[in-house]
Amino acid sequence: MAGGEDFVVTAHLTAEQRADLRAELERQLARLQRSMSVTDEAMRTVELDQTAVGRLSRMDSLQNQSLSKGLRERELVRLSLIREALQRMESGSYGLCTVCGADVPIERLFVFPEASECSDCVR
């Protein structure tokens, strides 16, 4: 008996560590949502520009738009990783590798709190 602790699926994390990681995920989610609204703004601005400006700046705008699109795609990927991590937190499977079921090492979780795979399974 290790004693004291309530039963949790992710037994290698203490309640305190999970609380820290959850707080970190929520901070990252908030930060990401702020940066996504900036990206929204950038993409909207480009649409307005395209109707009103000359050829050269239109090409600039298109270039900026494709940068914004690439950024938006990365943001969406990250958003779903963070949301999934928070869901695993709710369901009690947080910290377990979704591929092999092993404990994801805590050092890895503190660097990538959204990590869903252990270092062996990560692609």
Q: Which residues bind Zn ion (CB under 5 A)?
A: 97, 99-100, 102, 118, 121
Cβ closer to Zn ion: 82 or 97?
97
Q: Which is nearer to Zn ion, 46 or 85 (CB)?
A: 85
Shortest distance (Å) from residue 66 CB to Zn ion: 35
Handedness of CA 98, 102, 106, 111 (dihedral sign): negative
Task: Name the residue nearer to Zn ion (CB basis): 76 or 100.
Answer: 100
Tokens standing for 116? 């869903």
How far lies 27's CA from each of 59, 82, 113, in Å? 36, 10, 11
